[in-house]
Amino acid sequence: MSGQTELTHTKRQRSVRKQGGSLSKSIYEEIRERICLLRYPPGDVLREAELAEEFGVSRTPIRQVFQKLEIDGLVETRNGVGTIVTGFDFVQMKDVYELRLKLAELIAQLSPKPCSDFHRSGMEQLLNRAAQLKGSRDTGEFWRINHERQKIIASLIGNTALRDMYDQFYYQTGRVWFQMVDVMWDDQVEALCAELRDLIRAMELGDTQAVAYVERNHLSFYMGLIGRFISGELPKADSSGSNWFVDARE
C-alpha cells in the first residue's frame, strides 16, 4: 500500500543476533550470566532502552528477556522505575539448597541414565582446567567449568521434569554460590577439584547412584556454608560493603 521502504532499520549492528538458538535466547543467557556473575549486582537498575541499544534491537525483545528473568526470580520490574536486580535472600536460598539436596537424591531413583566413558572423560577435562585455577583467580573460567559440570550431571537425569527443575534451581542459586566463591577463592577451587575427583571416581564405576550422592554431599557442603553466612560467621560482601542480602521483595 504505502511506499516507504528506506526508513531506518535493516542496517544495524547485529552483534549477538541469530547466533544461538531461536531468537534473543542468547540475549537472555548473556544478561542472566551478568546477573549471576554479579556484574549486575543486586539493586542495580536495568533500563530497557539502554540494553536495547547495546544489543542492537528494540525494547520489545529486551522486555521479553526481562519477563523471563522475572519468572526466574532474578529481577523485578517496577512501573516508572526500571527493572531491578533482586537482592538475594540467604534464608530463601537455604530453602532452595535444602530442596536441591533432596532432588539430588532423586536423580538415581527416577530412571537414571547410565553414565558412560563420555561423561567421565568430560569431567576429567574439567578437572584439568580446574586445577589451573589455583593461582589465577579467573572467576569467569570457574563459572564456565561449573556450568559444564552441571550440564553433564543433568544429562544423567532420566526424568525430564526433574532435569528441568534441577537446571532451574541451579541458576537461582548461581549468585549465592558465586558470592561464596568470590569471598573464599582458594577453598572453593579446592572444593571444586575435590568434587570433580569424586565424580570421576563414581563415574569410573559407572554408578549413577554414586554420582548422585556425590552431588548431594557437595550441595550439603555449600548449604552449610550458607548457614555460616547467615549466622554472620563469614563475611558477606567483598566489595563496597553494601549489603545486598536484605531481600527487598515487599
Give contact residues for DNA (rule: CB under 7 A).
1-2, 4-5, 7-10, 12, 23-24, 46-49, 56-61, 63-64, 77-83
Cβ 156 vs Cβ 112: under 8 Å: yes
Instruction: Give the contacts of 32 (CB within 8 A, at least 6 positions apart).
Output: 69, 72, 74, 171
Say which residue the cell 548422585 belongs to: 212
The binder of 42, among DNA, a copy of itself, none, by C-beta within 5 to 8 A per type, is none
- Residue 81 binds which one of a copy of itself, DNA, none, with CB within 5 to 8 A depending on kind? DNA
Distances, alpha carbon 14 to alpha carbons 21, 23, 51, 62, 65, in Å: 15, 12, 14, 15, 17
Out of a copy of itself, DNA, none, what residue 217 binds, judged by CB under 5 to 8 A for its kind, is none
Distance CA(214)–CA(222), nearest Å, equals 13
The least distance separating DNA from the CB of residue 19, rounded to whole angstroms, comes to 13
- 155 makes contact with a copy of itself (CB under 8 A): no
Residues 6+ apart with CB under 8 A from 197: 127
Candidates 123-131, 136-144, 155-163, 182-190: pick the segment binding a copy of itself (CB under 8 A).
Answer: 155-163
Q: Nearest distance from residue 69's CB to a copy of itself, in Å?
A: 12
Closer Cβ to a copy of itself, 28 or 142, answer by number: 28
* Binding characters for a copy of itself, 74-93, by CB under 8 A (x = yes): ------------------x-
DSSP string covering 143-183: HHHHHHHHHHHHTT---HHHHHHHHHHHHHHHHHHHHHHHH
Q: With respect to DNA, which residue has the nearer C-beta, 56 or 224? A: 56
Neighbours of 19 (CB within 10 A): 9
Residue 34 DSSP code: H
Residues that bind a copy of itself (CB under 8 A): 64, 67-68, 71, 92, 95-96, 98-99, 102, 106, 109-110, 159-162, 165, 169, 172
